[in-house]
Structure 1
Amino acid sequence: MYQFLVSFTVRPDRRDDFVSLAAKTARDSLANEPGSRRFEVIADDANPDVFYLNEVYADLAAFEAHAGGPYFGAFFTEAGTYAEGPTWLMRGTLVGEAA
């Protein structure tokens, strides 16, 4: 499995918009992209303006299909107007079996 963790810093007045948009992207991706396995939206405990997206795909090709798909593009078109990122914190392929 290919997985990654990215962060975004969001303008304070647009936090709810970011969460709604990321959650919609997660729902659409999981429902319509066969290689999407997990898409979590996580709020930072220390900074209310920081959010993380924790995503898992069947493999790198599945992520690339996601990145070339409509949900990815729509997310960045909107979020890019009020959020900075993504900052890549981790990305790679799972070694062995998940615990």
Structure 2
Amino acid sequence: MSTAPAGGREFMPRIGAGLPPGERPMIAAIRSIPGHEGRLAAAVATLTAAVRREPGCLEFRAFQDVADPGVLYLYEIYADTDAFRVHLTTDHVARFFTELARHSRTDAKALVQLVELDVP
């Protein structure tokens, strides 16, 4: 799978070796190219429906910024790092990377790996 469909941007996130075991939460902020907001939102909706059917996906939710409709946020939780790795190999993710190249200013840095705070 190509990690840079257009413009030399990298879309495939790097998965660090130091991630803790267990659930793999993350969030991504995706910024559309002006005038491409609707097409990017449609691509995100298509991706969301497909990812929710993945066996390792525990949660996948898409949000639009109220103040800036050209910014979309993806909140994702996978069962573990291996489930996230499988997610990255799917055809729907490859298609989404192509749509990101066409309709956004985003690259792999938009995805932030999270670790839940241990709060008693």
Q: What TM-score results when the alignment is normalised by the length of structure 2?
A: 0.70
- Structure 1 residue 62: deviation in Å? 0.5
Corresponding residue for residue 92 of structure 2: 71
Matched, 1:53 2:74: yes
- Structure 1 residue 53: deviation in Å? 0.9
Q: Which has the higher contact order (CA 8 A, sep 6+)?
A: 1
Counting strand residues as a fraction of each chain, which structure ranks higher? 1
User: Counterpart of 2:37 in structure 1: which amino acid?
Assistant: R
Corresponding residue for residue 37 of structure 1: 58
Matched, 1:20 2:59: no
CA contact (8 A) 1:2 1:57 kept: yes
Runs of 4+ in 1 over 4 A off after TM superposition: 93-96
User: Counterpart of 1:91 in structure 2: which amino acid?
Assistant: Q
- The unaligned stretches of length 5 or more in structure 2 are 1-22
Q: What TM-score results when the alignment is normalised by the length of structure 1?
A: 0.83
CA contact (8 A) 2:61 2:75 kept: yes
For the aligned residues, what is the CA RMSD? Answer: 1.9
- Structure 1 residue 70: deviation in Å? 0.8
Partner SS for 1:11: coil
User: Counterpart of 2:105 in structure 1: which amino acid?
Assistant: E
CA contact (8 A) 1:4 1:92 kept: yes
Q: Identity percentage over the alignment?
A: 24
CA contact (8 A) 2:37 2:103 kept: no
User: How many residues align structurally?
Assistant: 95
- The unaligned stretches of length 5 or more in structure 1 are none
Counting helix residues as a fraction of each chain, which structure ranks higher? 1
Q: What is the distance in 2 between the residues matched to 1:94 and 1:35?
A: 18
